[in-house]
Structure formats: structure tokens, C-alpha cells
Chain A
């Protein structure tokens, strides 16, 4: 790659010829502030907070999009740039409802940080006392308050560019401009899939998940309830970020200890039902492979993907695995098998799931998710962020906690279960089990590296006891769309496809800790968090779902065998085609 030499505040640095001023400054150790900029996703130079003085340009330039040139002199902190940024900041703050103390994003807000960094002591403009909350809470998973929106359009960019959905955009113009849906409909009247990626990129508190922690606190305080909690595979490698630990730290032991100290009656691992999913889905796959019907089988663990399929690709609904997701299997097993085993009335069991995901809040309310009729499989689904909030409220000093183990009944899991948290993980877990079942021989190498990694679409072929099996893995819904279009046109043929709604899979889910864009632009969260997942797998003795003793016991004593009638009743579900324009009476 060709490079150029530039001077940043008098210091010479060599940078790639196609770098931006922002990137060059970073190489010199200077962080130019940004608000709207998202590397490769939203490079629009709109918010003007990154304006910088460079030689040869007439005025200030937007550092996030302005390319470097040989010999360019960049002055990031000139009086002119500083004053312009400060003025822009004051103007943004002038119609931002500044209720920082009671805001979800207090102390984790990019605007708040800039106001502090730029020493803003007073906002000279606007009438903040006239700003009223503008709440849109039609969706189960999300609350939007446009009175805190700064119109950076990061949510718009992830929704359209990354997820290929585009149900939100800027409406009207000038002072009237606001982010909303077409015809200012509520989100529930659109084909929003609840992935929550918009929440994780919002620089302020304009987009937040619907907080369900009160519901959990109430259950914990209710002596008549037996409150069990299950944690999703990826939460253990992200929760630490909420407590200032480095990205990619596995805090499983501390997480379990914290949950126990919060007062849960049992602390279980959803990895166990991830293993269970593999047994059910693997069996389903082999049945379909034999019959040739409804291939490719497409995974159904990701509720954002499932809802996407129902809205945008209903023709692929027969291809979806009928398996419930691990979260729902966890709830279902708690209220059937576990209740029976423990002699507890399922009505008294309150199931909490800790998820990397906002769509899990929606999934909980789907039809056909009641193993015990009249009882929801899961009673509360909270995100990694909400759990961190509960831990803080309880005054638990997270970093100082000892490492503890899950409660054994649903606490022994395999490495196959834990890798569900990264894109390709479900596929790899399934391949480990299915290959051994078909060949009847022990796998020599457990790593299916072809389906690992953060690329949006991965393909591989494996020999399954003489039969060639073609698999594909997609994460991020625009990648899923591209893959499905190829399948639809007949250009590509597969036997099994794994799709995760969020790019990189659950480790980058919409319910994960919020990292400021200044970090996201330069650190690959997906790769770092996934590395921790694969490390966990590597260190486990048990690495195949079908060898998990808990799973064996469940089948031996309760479900008979994978795919049995009873298993179907408890662990499988149904889907429904949904309109692309649910709010419009008669749509195409």
C-alpha cells in the first residue's frame, strides 16, 4: 500500500495514501472528536464536530471524510477549529433535552463526554425548559426519545446499510427534521426486526432498550417465586466491559457469583440448552437431508433473523428449523422437566434470561412459546446492559468477586454450546455432533475453522460419511439478504445455513455493552469478543453437545430421544408470515 507523509500538529507521520485526516491524526496520537462518523457505515461528514484545519483548504474540513495528501499540514487544535467545534456543540446541545442525571446513558454518553471535554459551562442558545420528552414506545424492545436525538443518523445507517432493513430515516426538513418511520408511523407498524443495533450505535440516550429490571427485582423479592436465571453464551465475554474490563475478557465465574449475590435461587447456563438445540436441530437436519425436503435447513436461534425472515422472506419459512431458540428451550425445560424433577409447580417458577439481544424481549412474547399452556416459557429477558445495571444497584464490587460455578442441574455445558455466541458457532457445534452421528467415528479435529471469523458470509463443504454437505453462514441481515437472494435465484445451493441477525453474531448483539464509536471505529469488537468465546471452547474438556451428561440425562429420563413427540411439544415452535408494511391495511 502506498503511503504519504503528513504533519499533525507539527509531528510528521506516515500514513496510508487513502487515509482520512481523522485516521492520520490518530496515528499521531490525537483523537479528533466525532459524532456522526462510523467507519465504513456512515461517512457523511454531517455533524461538523470533527472540523479541523489543514493546509491548502479554504475553510475547516470534516476530518472524518477529508483525504490526506503528501505534505499536508494538519492542525487539529487550532483556535479556529476549537471555536467551531465548541459552537457546533453548543448548537447541538441547544435542543437536546439534557436530563443527564436520569438518563439511561448517564456517564456513557458521547455528547456528555464532549461537553465535558470542551469545557462547556453554559449553553447560550435555545429554550431547554420547553423541550418535552418525545417518547415512542410501541415496540417491546426499544424506547425512542427524539428530544435527545442529535440527528447524527448512525441509527439510520446501521438499519439500512448494515441490516438492509431501513425502517427509519430523517423526515421533514430544517428545524422539523426528526428520525422516524415513513409517514411517521410507529415502529410497530413497520417491519422492524427488534435487532437493537440502532441502540448500540446511538451516541446519546435517544434510543434505549425497554428496561425490564424492575420486573426481575420484583420477582426476586417475591418469596413465593422460585427464580431461576440463565445466561446466554456471549454474555460472559462482554459483561466485563460494563465494569471497565478490557474487551474480550471472559468473566463467567464472576458473572455467576454476581447472579448468586443478586438472590437468584438457581444460576444456570443457557449453553446447556444450546447443546439441546444442537441435538434437536441436528436430528432435524439429518431427517431433512434424508428426505430431501425443506433444504437448506436454516437456523432459528436468532429472533431478529427469524422476524426478518417472516417479514421479508416468508418463502423461506419452511426452511427455518422448527427448534425454539436456546433461550426459549431454557424456559421450556425449566417449566417442564426441571419443575417435575424438583417437584415445583411451574406457575411458581420465574425464568429470567440474560441475553446479548433486544429481540429476545420480543421472542418471549411470540406465539407457540408455551411448553406449559398458559405459562410463558420465559418471564423476563434482560440484556447484558440491564444485568450490569442490577449489579451496580446491588452494590456488588464486580471485579473483586470470586469465580463461581453454575448450579449443576443446568450448569454443565460443552464448548459447542459456548461458541453459539459467535457467528459460525451454531454451524460448527452442529457439525461436531452431526458428523459423529453419521460417521459413527470420533472426530479427529473439532475445529471447523472455515465457518469461523467475522466475514459477513462464509461457505464451506464437508464430507459427511460419503455425502458432501454444503453449508453457509451469514451474520448481519444485509449479508443474510445477499445470501438468500443467491439461494433464491439458484446461483448457490446449500444443505444448511446459519444466520445471525447481528454482524459477528451474538457477541455484537443489540443488547451488548455500548462502546463509544471512537472505540468501535478502531477496535473490532466482534473479533475480540469472539476470540474469548473460542478460547473458552478450547479450554473445555467437554466440547461436543451430544456428550453433555446433562443432555443425556434429559433424554434418558424425560424426552426419550431427539425429535421425539414429547421433544416436539416442548422444544419446537411455529412461524408466521408477516407483512412488510404491517401498518398499511392493504399492501402489496
Chain B
């Protein structure tokens, strides 16, 4: 899955930066510390934007290209923050054979961003997830804490439209 660059402006706080800087300092000169630092940074910021990766590069002396190479290699890292409405479409085997791929395409089209990324306004993010263990409900999607199962395209469309309308009202 391409790890798409975010279009959302960076809104990191001084407190977040201090927490990250303190953590990197605590690692000392350990050259192998990039992985735990990236994990910590993602825990603090929720994602790994360029601004954060530059802090890590400058403090560790590891070139930014290498930090980014690691961040874009591992699926555990994301370069995008999560939206206010976090849509996850399960692409596990059961969901996939029951048409989750088409549902994902439809949702991307409706919301206006690709899987793995976030809309320009930061309201919606879409993830294609692996099996979430609800195969009995296949195909299934979640939006924040809400689970929607046994969907067809029309139902998914209806659900997403509800959220789009809700987002518009706010």
C-alpha cells in the first residue's frame, strides 16, 4: 500500500516536541535506535510528518532520506494523521471475497481521498485494514468506534453519505 504524503498542515505542539526530544536524548548514541524513536514519535503525534522526521534526523545524525526510507518501508508507520472520521474498510479474505474492494473504491470516490491518506480538510481518513476478526459480518467497515457489517455498495454509500452530511453541518 503506498504510504501517501499528507496534505494536512502540521499542528505539533511544544509539549509534543519536548516529549520526543527527551525520548531521543534518553536513547544516547545508540545507532540502532531509529525504530523505537519512530515508534515513540508516532505514539506522540499519531503519525510521522516531515517536521517530526527532521527533528529525528537532526538529533540522531541519520540522514532524513534514511529515516523516511524506514518510515515508508514498515506498514506500522503512517505518514498521515487520522481524520476526525476514521474510516477503516476490512480487506481480509472473507470481506474481500464478499466485495469489500468495490466498497473501498466507492468510499474513496465519495470522500475524495485514497486509501492510506486523509482529505485536505482533515475530516476523513481512509484505511484498508487486514482482517479485523469480524468475518461473520463480512464485508465490514468501521468508522471511529462504530461497526457496520454485511454491507453492499448501496448500504455503504448510505452510511458514508450520513457522515458527509454530518461533517457538512459542523
A contacts, CB < 8 Å to B: 160, 165-173, 176, 181-184, 190, 581, 584, 586-588
List 18 A–B pairs whose Cβ atoms lie within 8 Å, in order of A's numbering: A165-B63, A167-B64, A167-B65, A169-B69, A170-B69, A172-B2, A172-B3, A181-B65, A182-B53, A182-B63, A182-B67, A182-B68, A183-B68, A184-B5, A190-B65, A581-B54, A584-B50, A584-B54
CB distance from B86 to the nearest CB of A (A): 23
Do A173 and B65 have beta carbons less than 8 Å apart?
A: no
Given contacts A166-B66, A182-B64, 8 further A-B contacts (CB under 8 A): A169-B66, A171-B69, A172-B72, A182-B63, A182-B68, A581-B64, A584-B54, A588-B58
Looking across the interface, which residue of chain A has its beta carbon closest to that of B75?
A173
Once the chains are docked, how many angstroms separate the CA of A173 from the CA of B69?
A: 9
A172 to B3, CA, bound (A): 7
In the complex, A171→B5 CA distance in Å? 12
A169 and B63: CB pair below 8 A?
Answer: yes
Check if B51 is an interface residue, CB within 8 A of chain A.
yes
CB neighbours (8 Å) of B3 from chain A are 172
Instruction: Pick the residue among A171, A584, A587 that contacts B68 (CB under 8 A).
Output: A171
Residues from chain A with a CB closer than 8 A to the CB of B23 are none
- Chain B residues with CB under 8 Å of A184's CB are 5
- Asked whether A160 and B2 contact (CB < 8 A) given A182-B53, A182-B68, A588-B54, the answer is no
Docked-complex contact A587 and B54, CB < 8 angstroms: yes
Main secondary structure of the interface of B (DSSP, over half): helix
Main secondary structure of the interface of A (DSSP, over half): loop
Partner of A172, one of B66, B67, B73: B73
Q: Is B164 an interface residue (CB 8 A)?
A: no
Give the shortest distance, in Å, between B2 (CB) and chain A (any CB). 6
Bound form: Cα–Cα A584–B5 in Å = 13
| CB-CB under 8 A for A588 and B55, given A170-B69, A171-B69, A173-B72 | yes
Residue of A whose beta carbon sits closest to that of B3: A172
Nearest CB in chain A to that of B57: its residue: A182
The answer to whether A166 and B65 have CB atoms under 8 Å apart is yes
Interface range on chain B (Cβ under 8 Å from partner): 20 to 34
In the bound assembly, the distance between CA atoms of A425 and B121 in angstroms comes to 58
- Bound-state Cα–Cα, A181 to B72, Å: 12
Instruction: Give the 8 A-B residue pairs with the shortest CB-CB distance, closest first.
Output: A166-B63, A182-B68, A169-B65, A169-B69, A182-B64, A182-B65, A173-B73, A171-B72
On whether the beta carbons of B2 and A176 are closer than 8 Å, the reply is: yes
Docked Cα-Cα span, A558 to B139, in Å, equals 84
B residues whose Cβ falls under 8 Å from a Cβ of A: 2-3, 5, 50-51, 53-55, 58, 63-69, 72-74, 79
A190 to B50, CA, bound (A): 13
User: Considering the chains assembled together, what is the distance between the CA atoms of A26 and B80 in angstroms?
Assistant: 50
Q: Say yes or no: A183 contacts B63, CB within 8 Å.
A: no
Taking CB atoms, residues of chain B closer than 8 Å to A168 are: 65
In the assembly, what is the distance between CA of A168 and CA of B53, in Å? 15
Question: In the complex, how many angstroms separate the beta carbon of A197 from the nearest chain B beta carbon?
Answer: 15
A171 to B66, CA, bound (A): 9
Residues of chain A contacted by B54 (CB below 8 angstroms): 581, 584, 587-588
Alpha-carbon distance A168/B66, docked complex (angstroms): 8
Which residues of chain A are within 8 angstroms of B5 by Cβ–Cβ distance?
A: 183-184
Question: Given the complex, which residues of B lie within 8 Å of A167, measured CB to CB?
Answer: 63-65
| Residues in chain B near residue A160, CB distance under 8 A | 63, 65-66
With both beta carbons as reference points, the residue of chain A lying nearest to B53 in the complex is identified as A182
Determine the distance from Cα of A160 to Cα of B67 in the docked complex, in whole angstroms.
Answer: 13
Q: A584 with B51: in contact, given A171-B68, A172-B2, A172-B72 (CB under 8 Å)?
A: yes
A424 to chain B, nearest CB (A): 29
Cβ contacts under 8 Å, A176 to chain B = 2
Which residue from chain B places its CB closest to the CB of A168 in the assembled complex? Answer: B65
Report A294 CB to chain B, min CB distance, Å. 27
Q: Which residues of B contact A171 (CB under 8 A)?
A: 68-69, 72
Chain B hits for A587, CB < 8 A: 54
User: In this complex, which of B2, B63, B65, B66 has the most chain A Cβ atoms within 10 angstroms of its Cβ?
Assistant: B65
Given the complex of chains A and B, what is the CA–CA distance between A587 and B79 in angstroms?
A: 18
Cα separation A160 to B33 with both chains bound (whole Å) = 19
- Complex CA gap A165/B55 in Å reads 17
Rounded to whole Å, the gap between the CB of A195 and the closest CB of chain B is 15
A157 to chain B, nearest CB (A): 12
Q: How far is the CA of A533 from the CA of B94 in the complex (A)?
A: 71
Which residues from chain B contact A166 at a C-beta distance below 8 Å?
63-66
State A176–B64 Cα separation when bound (angstroms). Answer: 19
Q: Across the interface, do B68 and A169 meet the contact criterion of CB distance under 8 Å?
A: yes
The interface residues of chain B lying within 8 Å CB-to-CB of A584 are 50-51, 54
Closest to A156 in B: B65
Shortest CB-to-CB span from A512 to chain B, Å, is: 25
Cα–Cα distance between A587 and B5 once the two chains are bound (Å): 18
Which residues from chain B contact A173 at a C-beta distance below 8 Å? 72-74
Q: How far is the CB of B83 from chain A (nearest CB, A)?
A: 20
A138 and B61 alpha carbons, distance in the complex (Å): 26
Bound CA span A182–B53, Å: 9
Closest chain A CB from B131 CB (angstroms):
20
Nearest CB in chain B: distance from A357 CB, A: 23
Q: Which A residue's beta carbon lies closest to that of B68?
A: A182
Residues of chain B with a CB closer than 8 A to A588's CB: 54-55, 58
Chain B contacts for A181, CB-based, 8 A = 65
Cβ contacts under 8 Å, A190 to chain B: 65
CB distance from B61 to the nearest CB of A (A): 10
Interface centre among B2, B55, B66 (most CB of A within 10 A): B66
Q: Which residues of A contact B67 (CB under 8 A)?
A: 182
Could you tell me the distance between the alpha carbons of A168 and B69 in the complex, rounded to whole angstroms?
9
Q: How far is the CB of B52 from chain A (nearest CB, A)?
A: 12
Query: In angstroms, how far is the closest chain A Cβ from the Cβ of B29?
Result: 15
Q: Which of B2, B58, B63 has the most CB of A within 10 A?
A: B63
**How far, in Å, is A346 (CB) from chain B's closest CB?**
43
- Give the complex CA separation of A167 and B51 in angstroms: 16
Chain A residue at minimum C-beta to C-beta distance from B50: A183
Query: Quick one: closest B residue to A581, CB to CB?
Result: B54
- Separation of A587 and B64 alpha carbons in the complex (Å): 12
Nearest-neighbor residue (CB-CB) of A174 within chain B: B73
**B73 CB contacts on chain A under 8 angstroms:** 170, 172-173
Q: What are the residues of chain A within 8 A of B58 when measuring CB–CB?
A: 588
Q: How far is the CA of A167 from the CA of B53 in the complex (A)?
A: 14
A181 CA to B2 CA in the complex, in Å?
15
Distance A179 CA – B45 CA, assembled complex (angstroms)? 27
What is the distance, in angstroms, from A535's C-beta to the closest C-beta of chain B? 39
Chain B residues whose CB sits within 8 angstroms of the CB of A586 once the complex forms: 51
CA distance A183 to B10 in the complex (A): 15
Which one of A165, A172, A182 lies within 8 Å of B50 (CB-CB)?
Answer: A182
* A573 → B minimal CB distance (Å): 29
In the complex the two chains form, what is the Cα distance from A137 to B142 in whole Å?
A: 43
Q: What is the CA–CA distance of A166 and B55 in the complex, to the nearest angstrom?
A: 16
